[in-house]
Amino acid sequence: MDFKTFLIDFFTALIIVIKRFFLLIIYPYKTMRKISLEKDYYQLLIISVSVFLYFKFIYFLRDKPYPATLIFIIFFANFLLTTSFFYLLTKKQASFSSFIFTFSYSLFPTLIWFLSTSLLYIFLPPPRTLSLLGKTFSIFFIAFSLSLLIWKLILGYLAVRFSSKQNFLRIFYMIILYLTWFLPYSVLLYYFRFFRIPFI
Amino acid sequence: MTEINLRLKKKLNEVFSIEPNDLGIDFITFYFKKITAYFKTIPFVYVIPFTFLISLVLYLLLGKLLIRLVTILQYGF
């Protein structure tokens, strides 16, 4: 493959990723269904690069940080553990690439929350006060965080639904099972100062 | 005509790639489908007012604690 073909494929994937980012806001169900059938690996590359760039960016904001590459490797391990866990629970009906694609796209709410929190850390550094502005900001921030959390839950559920092709109840049990090991694992990551809030 | 048939077949395969949800009890399945329909298209229309309401209620219930929670979250990146 020559460089020209690579560039064309890369920019096509970039346009698709940007388009799907907006479509996941407007039509999460339909868009996630399409993503579960995706085969273009350049899209994964673009999402991975944007996550890596984010880790590079916060390296300059954190106190006594680990190198961005190490944080990215740990994130990548988390991601593979999560996708493999759900894949292994439903091996017979599912394809692994479908899990990888849908879970990659479900990283958008996480990325937006972490990026906006880092930017707010620069422009409106904590601690928050009990002034009127402080209270108003806090209410807005909680509403913003909850909205992104709900979006994340919708995308996460749809990712498992379209990749595993299981029904709601089975997915619910799978998520409970996932949390039984992921929550202690997140505490471990917090203890070693890799992530204060799990990036997943 | 063949092109249209292929596209239609592809679309049908996509739409019917998963079985409809069945929660075992008819009326629960009915309400589950009613509620989840709101999340399939432009969920933020419902999500944003809901989260504002929740955060306002949380502020009224927790007061200072909510402000401290926001401070902790702001260090969470």
Q: Mind listing the pLDDT tens digit for each residue in A144-164? A: 999 999 999 999 999 999 999
Coil vs helix vs strand at A178: helix
**Closest Cα in chain A, distance from residue B13 (Å):** 11
Say whether B19 and A161 touch across the interface (CB within 8 A).
no
Amino acid at A177: L
Task: Tell me which residue in A25, A61, A138 faces B70 most closely, judged by beta carbons.
Answer: A138
- Which of chain B's residues have a Cβ under 8 Å away from the Cβ of A165? 17-19
Band (pLDDT 50/70/90 cuts) for residue A138 is: very high
B54 lies within 8 A of chain A by CB: yes
A191 inside 8 A of chain B by CB: no
Mutant choice from A24, A121, A139, A169 vs B, greatest count of B C-beta within 10 A: A139
Residue A178 is encoded by which pair of tokens?
């996932």
Please give the mean pLDDT across all residues of chain A.
93
Statement: residue B35 has pLDDT above 70: yes
Residues of B in contact with A139 (CB under 8 A): 52, 55-56, 59, 66
Given a cut of 80, whether residue A9 has pLDDT beyond it is yes
Q: Would you list the DSSP string of B13-76?
A: HHHTTSPPP--SSHHHHHHHHHHHHHHHS-THHHHHHHHHHHHHHHHHHHTHHHHHHHHHHHT-
Residue of A nearest to B53 (CA): A143
- A139/B56 Cβ within 8 A: yes
Q: Categorize the per-residue pLDDT at A50 as very low, low, confident or very high, splitting at 50, 70 and 90.
A: very high
- Across the interface, whether the CB atoms of B77 and A197 are under 8 A apart is answered yes
Cα–Cα distance measured from residue A87 to residue B33, given in angstroms and rounded to the nearest whole number: 26
Annotated domain spans of chain B: 1-35, 42-77
Q: Per-residue b/e over B5-32, b at no fewer than 16 CB within 10 Å?
A: eeeeeeeeeeeeebeeeebeeeeeeeee
- Per-residue pLDDT at A94: 80
User: pTM (2 decimals)?
Assistant: 0.92
Sequence ranges of the domains in chain A: 3-191
Q: What single letter denotes the amino acid at residue A52?
A: F
| Contact B5/A at CB under 8 A | no
* Cβ(A157)–Cβ(A171) below 8 Å: yes
Does pLDDT of B1 surpass 70? no
Q: Cβ contacts (< 8 Å) between A161 and chain B: which residues?
A: 18
B76 interfaces chain A, CB cutoff of 8 Å = yes
ipTM: 0.89
pLDDT in tens, A100-134: 999 999 999 999 999 999 999 999 988 888 889 99
Question: Distance from B5 to chain A by nearest Cα, in Å?
Answer: 19
Task: Calculate Rg over the CA atoms of chain B.
Answer: 21
The whole-number pLDDT of residue B13 equals 79
Selecting from B21, B22, B58 the residue whose C-beta is nearest the C-beta of A142 gives B58
Q: Nearest CA to A112 among A151, A75, A73, A74?
A: A151
Per-residue pLDDT band for B16 (boundaries 50, 70, 90) equals confident
Q: What residue of A is the nearest CA neighbor of B40?
A: A29
Identify all chain B residues contacting A121, using CB atoms and an 8 Å cutoff.
Answer: 74-75, 77
